[in-house]
Amino acid sequence: MQDVFIIGAKGIGNYGGYETFLKKIIETDKNNINIKYHVACKYNGQGAMDETKLPGAKTIDDHHFTYYNADCFKINISEKLGSAQAIYYDIAAFKECIRQIKEQNISHPIVYVLACRIGPFVGRYVKQLHQLEGKLFVNPDGHEWMRAKWSKPVRKYWKVSEAEMVKHADLLVCDSVNIEKYIQMSYAKYHPKTTFIAYGADVTASNLTVDSEKVRTWYAEKGLKENNYFLVVGRFVPENNYATMIAEFMKSTAKKDLVLITNVEHNKFYDELKKKTGFNKDPRIKFVGTVYDGDLLKYIRENAFGYLHGHSVGGTNPSLLEALSSTKLNLLYDVGFNREVGRDAALYWTKEKYNLARLLEKTINMTKAEIEDLNKKSNDRIKNDYSWELITRQYNKVFLEEKVH
């Protein structure tokens, strides 16, 4: 039996990349008698875990529940810590992992840390873990230090933290080939051991139909029609290139809507963008809020004319995988991460003026056969290389190899 402790996600669920990753990998691996997962979850604060909303979870007490073959424990955090909360949470979770490993006398454990938040502090805990004959695995995520939402001091911290996590990791599991290359090149002096395992995607179709009540209600409320809109789904942050996508759509002659599923409540970036582009005067631009119903979101994706993906930072992006799995026509920002995933199953645009506007107009005139060809390629790409079954098998191999060594 290989014990794998996972820390860095708020919990297990359908929100957030890491939270979805945990849910999918544990569900897919629920009958595996060779691996036992131990998952740290937030007890309180933003995104705190509520297992009563997770079908299949069984509460043991207010700090402890099980989810199939995963033992889940909750970590209390001080909400007074502000942005340092996430760092405290990961450190407290690591301490708890070590306590449990000692208490349960677990041999050759793996502690898998998602993201590089605790680099400056990780050395002492890795030392304890190694004394217990354990290994540290790290998922370096994307280039967190490049995100525009962080101030310069925070970005500097992220870069330093990333270096320290790479230095101390026994294995770095990269969910993008580009991220793996970056780690190998940037931190060659540490001789990092890396492997590539992609993020997974749900390849099943929506259970909803054109006549489903929730479908008709949503489309009526938003003033939309199936196959008559381009779709954007993702966090409303500058590095996802909303400014370019909106400005270029406004320049285009597309007689379809641009539907943006994202949370813009109390968002300074939204106000700046409105002032800069005047998108509120273009009736085609429609911010429709968030959609937490997974089946409804899948139906909305399936029935979009096309999907726009502007992410410029990070590894394999979950929303891109979902789009390639569900939407026939995908228009991606031309950067290494996106090309790596989309290959010849998508079309690409740059920030050059009128580049995206012209591409939008071109797609309107594409034949059904051309669109269907791209649809088949994107579906095949996801099924063959990004299914959760495949991803789980790859993780199993990596986790169980450590037991052998």
Judge if 68 and 162 occupy the same domain: yes
Total Cβ atoms within 10 A of residue 79:
9
Read off the CATH number of the domain in which 373 is found: 3.40.50.2000
CB 26 within 8 A of CB 10: no
Q: Give the tokens for residue 132.
A: 């217990």
Amino acid 404: pLDDT: 46
Pick from 8, 155, 25: nearest CA to 86: 8
Alpha carbon distance 140, 183 (integer Å): 9
CB 104 within 8 A of CB 5: no
Alpha carbon distance 238, 225 (integer Å): 28
Judge if 249 and 157 occupy the same domain: no
Asked if the structure places residue 271 within a domain, the reply is yes
Judge if 54 and 145 occupy the same domain: yes
Asked if the structure places residue 208 within a domain, the reply is no
Asked if the structure places residue 205 within a domain, the reply is no
The C-alpha torsion from 345 through 349 and 354 to 357, rounded to 10°, is: 40
**Which residues are CB-neighbours of 293 under 8 A, at least 6 positions away?**
214
Judge if 243 and 330 occupy the same domain: yes
Asked if the structure places residue 144 within a domain, the reply is yes
Element (H, E) at 53: none
Judge if 165 and 254 occupy the same domain: no
- Provide the number of structural domains found in the chain: 2
N-to-C CA span, the chain: 13
Pick from 209, 227, 401: nearest CA to 328: 227
Total Cβ atoms within 10 A of residue 370:
12
CB-neighbour burial class of residue 29 (10 A; exposed 0-12, middle 13-18, buried 19+): buried
Amino acid 266: pLDDT: 66
Judge if 394 and 336 occupy the same domain: no
Judge if 7 and 75 occupy the same domain: yes
Judge if 162 and 257 occupy the same domain: no
Asked if the structure places residue 264 within a domain, the reply is yes
Judge if 391 and 381 occupy the same domain: no
Alpha carbon distance 178, 205 (integer Å): 29
Asked if the structure places residue 207 within a domain, the reply is no
Asked if the structure places residue 378 within a domain, the reply is yes
pLDDT tens string, the chain, 405 residues long: the values are 999 999 999 999 877 788 989 999 999 999 999 999 999 999 998 889 999 989 999 999 999 999 999 999 999 998 777 778 889 999 999 999 999 999 999 999 999 999 999 999 999 999 999 999 999 999 997 655 555 655 676 678 888 999 999 999 999 999 988 889 999 999 999 999 999 999 998 888 999 999 999 999 999 999 999 999 999 998 898 889 999 999 999 999 999 999 999 988 768 899 999 999 999 999 999 999 999 888 999 999 999 999 999 998 766 788 899 999 999 999 999 998 899 999 999 999 999 999 999 999 999 999 999 999 999 999 999 999 999 999 999 999 999 986 544
Query: What is the domain extent for residue 147?
Result: 2-200+387-404
Using alpha carbons, list the distances in angstroms from residue 82 to 86, 248, 320, 330. Answer: 9, 37, 30, 38
Alpha carbon distance 227, 223 (integer Å): 13
Judge if 86 and 103 occupy the same domain: yes
Judge if 179 and 287 occupy the same domain: no
Judge if 219 and 326 occupy the same domain: yes
Alpha carbon distance 34, 42 (integer Å): 27
Asked if the structure places residue 206 within a domain, the reply is no
